[in-house]
Amino acid sequence: MMSEIVHVVKVGIADMNVVKAPYVIRTCGLGSCVGVVVYDLAKEVAGMAHVMLPDSSLAKSEQMNVAKYADTAIEELIRRVIGSGGRNGHLKAKMAGGAQMFQFRTGTTDMMRIGPRNVEAVREQLQRFRIPIVAEDVGGSSGRTIEFHPKTGILLIRTVNQGVREM
């Protein structure tokens, strides 16, 4: 029996990309970052963003990377998925990451809660564009790698020391 060759498109940190089946899309190194997938299952198209920070008002340079911030990444990701054949009103989302990677003994400020703040910001943006989150694996304190299959709508999540889950 011949095994199927899987073509993987990688998404780097603070980056985004869009694929159509049979391609799959993957991002690694999700600690406090959030990996968000926006997809149209019937059209077998999906986009993934690796969001580092919640809010682009934190941007310091004029050359802003839209994929880096939840408030700019989600809007651009939706635009790209629709540009590749996805249909507004048929889009769904899955997300993973947003871990609290470091434990602080004293006075945890809001700035240190970057993982939970990323998760909240991504949720807000998806809600703003009326895209339902159909599955999520967020929080905790472990890093994750995620891989999305636009043909099946399955998100594979590899969590450090916990193996692989499907959602």
Q: pLDDT tens digit string along 70-101? A: 999 999 999 999 999 999 999 999 999 999 87
Sign, CA dihedral 29-72-112-156, equals negative
Q: pLDDT tens digit string along 135-149? A: 999 999 999 999 999
Q: pLDDT tens digit string along 1-37? A: 445 667 999 999 999 999 999 999 999 999 999 999 9
**Res 48: pLDDT:** 98
Tokens of 102: 């470091």
Q: Which residues contact 1 (CB under 8 A, 6 or more apart)?
A: none
**Res 4: pLDDT:** 63
* Better-scored residue on pLDDT, 71 or 108: 71
Interior/surface letters 90-101, b for 16+ CB within 10 angstroms, e for the rest: ebbbbbbbbbbe
Band of pLDDT at residue 111, cut at 50, 70 and 90: low
Which active-site residues does the annotation give? 33
Q: What angle do CA 71, 7, 77 make, to 5 degrees?
A: 15
Question: Which fold is adopted by the domain 8-161?
Answer: 60s Ribosomal Protein L30; Chain: A; (3.30.1330)
Which residue is listed with tokens 């507004």?
88
